[in-house]
């Protein structure tokens, strides 16, 4: 079945930029031939995670969108399941903004400590974070009962006749890229691939002839990393490798306030 695919990545809670970009690209959720493909990292850093979730869930429920797992989605799952206590991602990787929106409170952990528990900022501990996390994950799971399963049921890739859409990378060393064998940051295989450090963009790809479309690593960073800058100005636009084997989409929306949209036609498998 041939579809007009509108591929985006790394929305990071920037709902207004997403809607503006899709409108400019001509995406029509009522057009049977249109399909939105989102390459992970729907939340964190931006202010509108709930709006992003409600919009994407509506489209996935209607079969008008496919959302792919990203590393920030894995982080949110870990918190909602209570399997991770490390507050690093809350303070340094944008989870604070996601919890703030879903829990309807600014700086939710800090305000809970100060207002609810009367704990000064200088006395906040990992134990306090663990107690707060148990409260907030229960509240979010109760208010949004379909959120966790929606996140966990996301695939790690979408394969079409000519393309592979994934968040960070495919395993170029695996005999069959569908079955990766790698390790990174305590994650294995496909989960580990969501944490690619930009090196995939330059790797030889010998286990598929298809073009790989990725997010995760900002295109301006990639241009710097591979010496592709024409001048010193930031360039967050779509980046296609010279041999056309890899296309990178991540616009670093928190800085650019834009979402890249790749529009292609291809057959779904």
What's CA 152's distance to the chain center, in Å? 13
Residue 84: predicted pLDDT: 86
Q: What CATH number should be reported for the domain whose range is 2-70+154-267?
A: 3.60.21.10
Length of the chain: 269
Residue-wise pLDDT for 12-61, tens only, equals: 999 999 999 999 999 999 999 999 999 999 999 999 999 999 999 999 99
* All CATH 3.60.21.10 domain ranges in the chain, comma separated: 2-70+154-267
Q: What predicted TM-score, i.e. pTM, was given to this entire model? A: 0.96
Whether 85 shows a pLDDT value over 90: the answer reads no
Residue-wise pLDDT for 207-259, tens only, equals: 999 999 999 999 999 999 999 988 889 999 999 999 999 999 999 999 999 99
The secondary element (H helix, E strand) that includes residue 132 is helix 126-143
Q: Are strands 246-248 and 211-214 parallel, antiparallel or unpaired?
A: parallel
Contacts 24+ apart (CB under 8 A), 266-269: 266/2, 266/3, 266/5, 266/160, 266/161, 266/162, 266/163, 267/1, 267/2, 267/3, 267/160, 267/161, 268/1, 268/2, 268/3, 268/35, 268/160, 268/161, 269/159, 269/160, 269/161
């Amino acid at each position: 079945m041939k579809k007009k695919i509108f591929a985006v990545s790394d929305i990071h809670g920037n709902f207004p930029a997403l809607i503006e970009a899709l409108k400019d690209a001509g995406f029509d959720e009522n057009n049977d031939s249109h399909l939105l493909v989102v390459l992970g990292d729907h939340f964190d850093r931006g202010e509108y995670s709930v709006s992003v979730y409600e919009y994407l869930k509506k489209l996935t429920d209607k079969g008008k969108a496919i959302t792919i797992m990203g590393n920030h989605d894995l982080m949110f799952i870990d918190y909602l399941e209570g399997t991770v206590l490390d507050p690093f991602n809350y303070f340094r990787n944008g989870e604070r903004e996601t919890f703030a929106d879903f829990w309807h409170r600014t700086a939710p952990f800090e305000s809970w400590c100060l207002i609810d528990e009367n704990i000064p900022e200088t006395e906040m501990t990992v134990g306090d974070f663990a107690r707060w996390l148990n409260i907030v994950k229960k509240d979010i799971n109760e208010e949004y009962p379909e959120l966790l399963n929606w996140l966990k049921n996301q695939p790690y890739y979408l394969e079409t006749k000519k393309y592979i859409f994934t968040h960070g990378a495919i395993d170029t060393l695996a005999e069959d890229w569908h079955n990766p064998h790698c390790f990174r940051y305590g994650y294995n295989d496909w989960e580990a691939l969501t944490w690619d450090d930009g090196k995939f963009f330059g790797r030889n790809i010998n286990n598929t002839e298809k073009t790989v479309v990725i997010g995760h690593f900002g295109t301006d960073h990639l241009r710097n990393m591979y010496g592709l800058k024409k001048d010193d100005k930031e360039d967050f636009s779509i980046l296609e490798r010279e041999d056309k084997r890899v296309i990178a989409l991540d616009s670093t929306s928190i800085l650019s306030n834009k979402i890249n949209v790749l529009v292609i036609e291809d057959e779904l498998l």
